[in-house]
């Protein structure tokens, strides 16, 4: 498959958008500006970007607790995300959700999720609604390798297959569920082989190679969009930091520095950036400019979040039910 | 006496039981090298090895279900589900299996298993990591429900739970995990269904659970200066419930506030209020007041979460109303 240069540049841009966000909020979290708990996706940027570049604004997305990257790749804006992280009224969920519970239905983000595996069965049903209404949308559902061991994973994939629902399930395999490594969690090499049990395509791909993710997702998304049913893609990647921001020793209790460093070597952004510069597709200077623009946008987002008010006291009682008069 | 935290008291009990009974083992997510999300199992894997302190796949149905199976096979599992918020995903195992096997099969088999879960709102963890709905479990015949407050109670009640032939839901509140208290080094047990009067008083009874016990004790101290003498009763186990200790206190004071972090509607506070109304209403000088979480999910935003979590402020308001 030939990927045009414009798309490659967009890939880099989108990954930088996520990386810049994650690094900035990590700083803000440690400085005490962001309350609650927060799961960073630094190092995993190629997955949301490679997948979401195949999506339309009207397509649906469901995600996990580690969802900032997915929301950004689907078109989420810094300022509303930042305001949500700060617990402000102007955030995507009015401050009700925070890091683990982002949603922006206008761009198809039906929700990240504090419950591991919580989105998988829901995605099957969202897919069904698309098919039922004879629309041509697609649903993508991101979750971790840990989530692939929930009962919900098996029920959700099977039902999606039975329904022939247009859903692309993405396992973002970063090798750990908090401290528990793959070898204590499952007995397979490729999690994608589980797709065979539901008679849907299952592919494992280098999740730090954004072009490989893009191409694999393209096949699955097009197949789903044209009525071919669901697929499962496993993207092999790694989270650079602790399970959550502020985890003791930043993940070193159960992982070695050598392991972390070896994955940093395989940084998806560095990889694409070097390839694009070597191929004269972008210049060093243009990349710097992109990075600076994201930094400026982040400063504006922080300013917006800081100046925004907290929700009114009555907000506690709002949205529990829809008022039907 | 020596002071240790609630977390350390539980750790001590687990160690004691694992040393003394080979049938006892622990499993759950991240309980090994990480020592559990709240550090309760810290270091156990070093002493007992990964064969008895088992990090599980992220599979709540199997964690509870296979725990039940291990108990049926003769072991004494101490199973951890990190947050109560994750138990709905395996509720069938808890409600339809763990609770019912002994009864349904005519008493032939037993499930001597302890299911440890963490509850409570704290630290802006929002709707899916802040709940306290253990009243669901009280509502289910066949389960023992234990809600220790102090490190002393934690150790004694975990010992009793592990020794029990019945399935036990052992509830640990986030806000109390790191609070210290006096705990004897030697081993001891606290019977189920045995409430503890945490403070003596004459004018008002506050029946409180877990973090709200500490809040009630602080407020009681403040109120003492204003001439209101408050008795604080901690049920310690919600099933079985020590009605007599609660009733005796209410007979003495004539006023009752029940404080529990669960949502007020249909919670344990409602049950205790109903029992008092049904059995000793003639002793009440004022309507009972329940203090608990509002009938909403827990919001993320710090000021909203603060308003959500019941505590000293809500107790003071209730006292102002009842006196
Ligand atoms: C049902 C459920 N069980 C446990 C947890 C606690 N928890 C949060 S994230 C996590 C690990 C998730 O691992 P994985 O699915 O691989 O995603 P990752 O964090 O690696 O991105 C656990 C155990 C939870 N939130 N929900």
- pLDDT at residue B164, as a whole number: 98
Q: What is the pLDDT of residues A87-107, one digit of tens each?
A: 999 999 999 999 999 999 999
DSSP string, A108-150: TEEE--SSTTTTHHHHHHHHHHHHHTT----EEEEEETTGGGS
Domain B3-182 has CATH 3.60.10.10: no
Residues 6+ apart with CB under 8 A from B20: none
A177 to chain B: nearest residue by CA? B58
Low pLDDT (below 50) residues in chain A: none
Measured between alpha carbons, how far is B298 from B129 in angstroms, rounded to an integer?
Answer: 9
Q: Which atom of ligand 1 is nearest to the CA of A148?
A: 15
In angstroms, how far is the first alpha carbon of chain A from the final one? 55
- Contact by Cβ (8 Å): A245, B26: no
Q: Using CB atoms within 10 Å of the CB of residue A288, give its burial: 0 to 12 exposed, 13 to 18 middle, 19+ buried.
A: exposed
- CA A217 to each of CA A13, A234, B107: distance values in angstroms, whole numbers, following the listed order: 19, 10, 54
Q: Would residue B102 show up in a list of annotated catalytic residues for this protein?
A: no
Residues 6+ apart with CB under 8 A from B49: none
Structure tokens, A104: 């922006």
pLDDT, mean of residues B150-162? 98
- pLDDT at residue A325, as a whole number: 84
Reduced to 3 states (helix: H, G, I; strand: E, B; else coil), residue B250 is: helix
B234 - beta bridge partners?
B196
Does the beta carbon of A112 sit less than 6 angstroms from any atom of ligand 1?
no
- pLDDT at residue A1, as a whole number: 75
Reduced to 3 states (helix: H, G, I; strand: E, B; else coil), residue B238 is: strand
Q: Which of A36, A116, A253 sits opposite B126 (nearest CB)?
A: A36
Structure tokens, B105: 């099969």
Side-chain half-sphere CA neighbours of B113 within 13 A: 34
Side-chain half-sphere CA neighbours of B73 within 13 A: 9
Distance of CA B98 to the CA centre of its chain: 18
Side-chain half-sphere CA neighbours of A148 within 13 A: 27
- With a cut of 90, say whether residue B9 has pLDDT above it: yes
Strand pairing class (A167-173; A231-236): parallel
- Inter-chain CB pairs, A–B, below 8 Å: 134
Instruction: Identify the CA nearest to A97 among candidates A71, A59, A73, A120.
Output: A71
pLDDT, mean of residues B247-251? 98
Distance A147 CA to ligand 1 centre (A): 7
Per CATH, which fold does B196-322 belong to? Answer: Rossmann fold (3.40.50)
CATH 3.40.50.970 in chain B, residues?
Answer: 3-182
Chain B interface, best mutation among A88, A103, A114, A155, by max B CB count within 10 A: A114
- pLDDT at residue A247, as a whole number: 94
Structure tokens, B115: 């299911």
Instruction: Identify the CA nearest to B14 among candidates B181, B164, B155.
Output: B155
Structure tokens, B91: 């509720």
Superfamily of domain A5-306 in the CATH hierarchy = Thiamin diphosphate (ThDP)-binding fold, Pyr/PP domains (3.40.50.970)
Measured between alpha carbons, how far is A219 from A196 in angstroms, rounded to an integer?
Answer: 17
CATH 3.40.50.920 in chain B, residues?
Answer: 196-322
Distance of CA A224 to the CA centre of its chain: 20
Residues 6+ apart with CB under 8 A from B202: B229, B231, B252, B253
Q: Percentage helix, strand, coil, to 5, in chain B?
A: 40, 20, 40
Instruction: Identify the CA nearest to A204 among candidates A161, A166, A237, A156.
Output: A237
B85·A254 Cβ contact <8 A? no
- Residue owning tokens 């979040």: A305
Neighbours of B28 (CB within 10 A): 27
- pLDDT at residue A57, as a whole number: 97
Instruction: Identify the CA nearest to A190 among candidates A150, A142, A235.
Output: A235
- Crossing angle for the helix pair A78-85 and A5-30, to the nearest 10 degrees: 20
Which alpha helices (H) appear in chain A, and where do they start and end? 5-30, 46-52, 68-73, 78-85, 120-132, 151-163, 182-185, 210-225, 257-265, 268-278, 284-307
**DSSP category for residue A289:** H
Structure tokens, B303: 């000021």
A117 to chain B: nearest residue by CA? B58
Q: Which of A151, A254, A320 sits opposite B33 (nearest CB)?
A: A254
- Contact by Cβ (8 Å): A239, A255: no
Q: Which atom of ligand 1 is nearest to the CA of A117?
A: 1
Distance B46 CA to ligand 1 centre (A): 24
Residue of the CA atom closest to atom 5 of ligand 1:
A116
Strand pairing class (B256-263; B180-182): unpaired
**Sign of the C-alpha dihedral, residues A187, A257, A51, A219?**
negative
Measured between alpha carbons, how far is A143 from A122 in angstroms, rounded to an integer?
Answer: 13
- pLDDT at residue A82, as a whole number: 98
Chain B interface, best mutation among A37, A65, A96, A320, by max B CB count within 10 A: A96
A143 - beta bridge partners?
A171
B55 - beta bridge partners?
B28
- pLDDT at residue A172, as a whole number: 98
Residues 6+ apart with CB under 8 A from A31: none
Phi, psi of B48 (to 5 degrees): -110, -10
- pLDDT at residue B247, as a whole number: 98
Instruction: Identify the CA nearest to B168 among candidates B177, B160, B178, B179.
Output: B160
- Residue owning tokens 């971790």: A144
Measured between alpha carbons, how far is B16 from B33 in angstroms, rounded to an integer?
Answer: 19
Residue of the CA atom closest to atom 20 of ligand 1:
A177
Average pLDDT of chain B, as a whole number: 98
Reduced to 3 states (helix: H, G, I; strand: E, B; else coil), residue B29 is: coil
Label residues B156-186 b or e (16+ Cβ within 10 Å = b): bbbbbbbebebbbbbbbbbbbbebebebeee
Instruction: Identify the CA nearest to A224 among candidates A173, A171, A172, A161.
Output: A161
- pLDDT at residue A182, as a whole number: 97
Distance of CA B290 to the CA centre of its chain: 18
Annotated domain spans of chain A: 5-306
pLDDT, mean of residues B188-206? 98
Structure tokens, A321: 């039910």
Q: Which of B58, B128, B303 sits opposite A310 (nearest CB)?
A: B303
Structure tokens, A316: 């506690």
């Amino acid at each position: 498959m030939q990927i045009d240069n414009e798309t490659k540049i967009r890939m880099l841009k989108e990954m930088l958008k996520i990386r810049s966000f994650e690094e900035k909020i990590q700083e803000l979290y440690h400085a005490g500006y962001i309350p609650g708990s927060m799961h960073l996706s630094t190092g995993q940027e190629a997955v949301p970007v490679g997948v979401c570049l195949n999506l339309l604004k009207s397509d649906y997305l469901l995600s996990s607790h580690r969802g900032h990257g997915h929301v950004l790749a689907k078109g989420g804006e810094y300022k509303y995300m930042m305001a949500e992280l700060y617990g402000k009224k102007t955030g995507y969920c009015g401050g009700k959700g925070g890091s683990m519970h982002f949603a922006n239905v206008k761009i198809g983000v039906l929700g990240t999720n504090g419950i591991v595996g919580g989105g998988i069965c829901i995605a099957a049903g969202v897919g069904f609604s698309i098919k039922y209404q004879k629309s041509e949308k697609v649903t993508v559902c991101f979750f971790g390798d840990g989530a692939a061991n929930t009962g919900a994973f098996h029920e959700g994939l099977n039902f999606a297959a039975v329904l022939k629902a247009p859903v692309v399930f993405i396992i973002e395999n970063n090798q750990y569920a908090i401290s528990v490594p793959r070898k204590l969690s499952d007995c397979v090499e490729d999690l994608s082989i589980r797709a065979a049990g539901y008679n849907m395509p299952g592919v494992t791909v280098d999740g730090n190679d954004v072009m490989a993710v893009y191409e694999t997702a393209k096949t699955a998304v097009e197949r789903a969009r044209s009525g071919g049913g669901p697929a499962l893609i496993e993207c092999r990647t790694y989270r650079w930091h602790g399970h959550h921001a502020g985890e003791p020793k930043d993940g070193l209790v159960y992982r070695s520095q050598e392991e972390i460093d070896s994955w940093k070597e395989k940084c998806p952004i560095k990889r694409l950036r070097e390839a694009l510069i070597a191929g004269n597709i972008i210049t060093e200077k243009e990349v710097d400019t992109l990075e600076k623009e994201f930094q400026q946008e982040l400063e504006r987002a922080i300013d917006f979040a800081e100046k925004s008010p907290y929700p009114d006291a009555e907000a506690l009682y709002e949205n529990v039910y829809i008022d039907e008069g | 006496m020596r002071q240790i935290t609630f977390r350390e008291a539980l750790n001590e009990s687990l160690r004691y039981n694992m040393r003394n009974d080979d049938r006892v083992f622990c499993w759950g997510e991240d309980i090994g090298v990480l020592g559990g999300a709240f550090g309760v199992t810290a270091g156990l894997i070093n002493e007992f090895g990964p064969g008895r302190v088992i990090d599980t796949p992220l599979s709540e149905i199997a964690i509870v279900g296979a725990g039940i199976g291990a108990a049926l096979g003769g072991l004494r599992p101490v199973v951890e589900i990190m947050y109560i918020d994750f138990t709905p995903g395996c509720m069938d195992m808890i409600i339809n299996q763990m609770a019912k096997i002994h009864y349904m099969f005519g008493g032939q088999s037993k499930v001597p298993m302890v299911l440890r879960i963490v509850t409570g709102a704290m630290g802006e963890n929002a709707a899916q990591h802040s709940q306290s709905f253990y009243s669901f479990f009280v509502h289910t015949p066949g389960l023992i429900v234990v809600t220790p407050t102090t490190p002393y109670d934690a150790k004694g009640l975990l010992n009793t739970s592990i020794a029990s032939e019945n399935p036990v839901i052992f509830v640990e509140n986030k806000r109390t995990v790191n609070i210290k208290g006096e705990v004897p080094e030697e081993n001891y047990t606290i019977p189920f269904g045995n409430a503890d009067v945490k403070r003596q008083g004459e004018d008002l009874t506050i029946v409180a659970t877990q973090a709200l016990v500490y809040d009630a004790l602080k407020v009681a101290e403040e109120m003492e200066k204003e001439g209101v003498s408050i008795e604080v009763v901690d049920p310690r186990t919600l099933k079985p419930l020590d009605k007599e200790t609660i009733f005796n206190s209410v007979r003495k004071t004539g006023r009752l506030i029940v404080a529990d972090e669960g949502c007020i509607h249909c919670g344990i506070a409602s049950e205790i209020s109903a029992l008092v109304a049904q059995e000793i209403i003639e002793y009440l000088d004022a309507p009972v007041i329940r203090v608990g979480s509002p009938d909403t999910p827990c919001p993320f935003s710090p000021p909203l979460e603060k308003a959500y979590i019941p505590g000293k402020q809500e107790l003071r308001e209730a006292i102002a109303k009842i006196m």
